[in-house]
């Protein structure tokens, strides 16, 4: 990381069916503030996300993400069936140079 540059927090949200660090990810989403720039109306995206995908929460932790709290359990009734899911929230701080380097390494454009 660049010690002189500003840091911004990236967020990773992952869904699993079990409350286990080794549970398979059912879905995920990310937020990367380095990809958002002020525009004349609201905000606009300025590039593709450089956040890799993970197959389970443990791999995200191994890659340096910090768990922001325990997983949140949600129970839904769908067509008479009960579906339980767990939402995991992770965060990490990155500088713009790190974000650009990761983007270049993955072939993304900013």
Please check the confidence at residue 85 and state whether its pLDDT lies above 70. Answer: yes
Q: Are 55 and 23 spatial neighbours (Cβ–Cβ below 8 Å)? A: no
Instruction: Kindly report the pTM of this predicted structure.
Output: 0.72
Bigger pLDDT: 33 vs 21: 21
Q: Is residue 25 part of a domain?
A: yes
- Say how far apart CA 82 and CA 71 lie, in whole Å: 18
Q: Are 47 and 35 spatial neighbours (Cβ–Cβ below 8 Å)? A: yes
- Say how far apart CA 58 and CA 65 lie, in whole Å: 9
Q: Is residue 43 part of a domain?
A: no
Give pLDDT tens digits for 46-75.
555 567 789 999 999 999 999 999 999 999
Q: How many contiguous H segments (helices) and E segments (strands) does the chain have?
A: 2, 7
The number of domains in the chain is 1
Please give the residue range of the domain that contains residue 78: 7-32+52-96
Q: Which helix (H) or strand (E) holds 28?
A: strand 25-31
């Amino acid at each position: 990381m660049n010690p002189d540059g500003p840091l911004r927090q990236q967020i990773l949200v992952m869904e699993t069916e079990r409350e286990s660090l080794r549970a398979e990810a059912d879905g995920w989403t990310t937020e990367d503030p380095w990809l958002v720039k002020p525009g004349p109306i609201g905000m606009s995206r300025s590039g593709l996300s450089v956040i890799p995908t993970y197959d389970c929460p443990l791999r995200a932790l191994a890659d340096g993400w910090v768990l922001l709290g325990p997983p949140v359990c949600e129970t839904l009734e769908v067509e008479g069936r009960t579906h339980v899911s767990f939402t995991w929230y992770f965060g990490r701080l990155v500088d713009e140079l790190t974000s650009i380097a990761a983007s270049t390494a993955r072939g993304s454009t900013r």
